[in-house]
Amino acid sequence: MTLSLERVFSLASAMADAPDQDEEEFLGQTLRFALELVPEAGAGTAGIVEGGRWHFVAAEGHDRDRLRRLPSMDEQFLPAQEGSVLIPAPLSHLRRAMTDASFELFQLATLPVYESLVVPLRTGGKTRGHLALDIVDLQKGPFSQESLRVMEALGHLAATFLGMKQLFAVQEGFQREIAMSMISMLEQYDSYTRGHSENVALLAQRLAERLGMGRDAVKNAYWAGLVHDIGKILVPIDVLNKNSSLTEEEYALVKTHPERGERVLSRSEELAGLGLVVGSHHERWDGTGYPAGRRGEEIPPLARVMALADAYDAMTSHRSYRRGMKKSVALEEIRRGAGTQFDPEMAWIFVEMMEGSPEGS
């Protein structure tokens, strides 16, 4: 039992990476744990339900590649109740779920099975997948009550993982919808923004990855890049789209957009965490930026990333009153600004990253 608990806790700790963990990989890992913990089993499978159809994604002991090639089956043939289910004649049960051709392929892909222990992976009242262990040696059966408890524990963890994956996908999709709605609105307002926000987002994401920032920081670099200029919605349109030099008063209005953007984002629970980044992306390493005059490491790291991405795209983008700089010229400007406008370490890493990229990227 001690070994069982250690393995369950080990699997639970792996769920910390649920947002980026592949479902098939996680279920395969869970299945391998289960086979180590349940002495009666000699083989097993795992599957996922998508769009009401159920298909195999992992197998141990059986031919995984053949099972994965089988056509999907109606999810009604998976047990619908919570907890583990013993199926004494699994072949006759599956026979009803498959066509003749599929069943023939299934038999070729699997060892003879005398009893199966199936755990439906259910979250939110719906079946998301399954874990199953099979007895392939009569001398080792039947499954003990201890094995049923271990499988139920593993099944609960796997179901929770699938539920978390779905929640993260919904939240991320919602976050993107909010961000893209904001950008769409800004693009109608400020002609320069068209394409600029996405360019900055992608550059910021690449630089965050190159700097070795964590998974969440890399994601936030992208999201912050998408909405970094959202405060411009509150700047008069004739000022934003002016084709000549701005007056001091007009420039002062434009310089309010980071603070305005931070305030806009702070009203959304989904995007509030990006507010400080957006509010600081025009600060300078030497403290002469705006709006707060932060200097050096007082400036949030992602805001320093954003400053580089924003400046580079601004320099290389064509405007109605000028052509964009060549890549080499823009990178020379970044070098010149290292230690004054930009974080010096980040600036050199950005230049190195861009010099290794094709022209225009």
- Is the model's pLDDT at 300 over the cut of 90? yes
pLDDT tens-digit map of 121-157: 887 778 888 899 999 988 887 899 888 888 887 888 7
- Listing DSSP states for 168-227 in one string gives HHHHHHHHHHHHHHHHHHHHHH-GGGTTHHHHHHHHHHHHHHHTT--HHHHHHHHHHHHH
Least confident of 211-220, 238-247, 277-286: 238-247
pLDDT tens-digit map of 75-85: 777 766 666 67
| Band (160; pLDDT cuts 50, 70, 90) | confident
- Listing DSSP states for 287-333 in one string gives S--SSS---GGGS-HHHHHHHHHHHHHHHHS-BTTBPPPPHHHHHHH
> What pLDDT, on a 0 to 100 scale, did the predictor assign at position 1?
42
- Is the model's pLDDT at 188 over the cut of 80? no
Identity of the residue numbered 257? H
Superfamily of domain 190-355: Hypothetical protein af1432 (1.10.3210.10)
Tokens standing for residue 347: 């600036």
pLDDT tens-digit map of 104-123: 888 899 899 888 898 888 87
More confident residue, 271 or 207: 207
> What pLDDT, on a 0 to 100 scale, did the predictor assign at position 179?
66
Average pLDDT over residues 273-277: 87
The H or E element that residue 126 is part of is: strand 126-135
Least confident of 108-122, 274-288, 328-342: 108-122
- Is the model's pLDDT at 225 over the cut of 70? yes
The dotted CATH code for 2-166 is 3.30.450.40
Positions of CATH 3.30.450.40 in the chain: 2-166
- Is the model's pLDDT at 18 over the cut of 60? no
Least confident of 34-48, 174-188, 304-318: 174-188
Cα separation, 285 vs 275, whole angstroms? 19
Share of the chain above pLDDT 90, in %: 32
Query: Do residues 94 and 62 make contact, with C-beta atoms less than 8 angstroms apart?
Result: no
Tokens standing for residue 81: 């109740």
Average pLDDT over residues 11-17: 53
Average pLDDT over residues 192-196: 70
| Band (264; pLDDT cuts 50, 70, 90) | confident
Positions of CATH 1.10.3210.10 in the chain: 190-355
Rounded to two decimals, the pTM is 0.56
More confident residue, 255 or 241: 255
> What pLDDT, on a 0 to 100 scale, did the predictor assign at position 172?
63
Average pLDDT over residues 258-269: 81
| Band (12; pLDDT cuts 50, 70, 90) | low
Least confident of 149-163, 260-274, 339-353: 260-274
Average pLDDT of the residues of the chain? 83
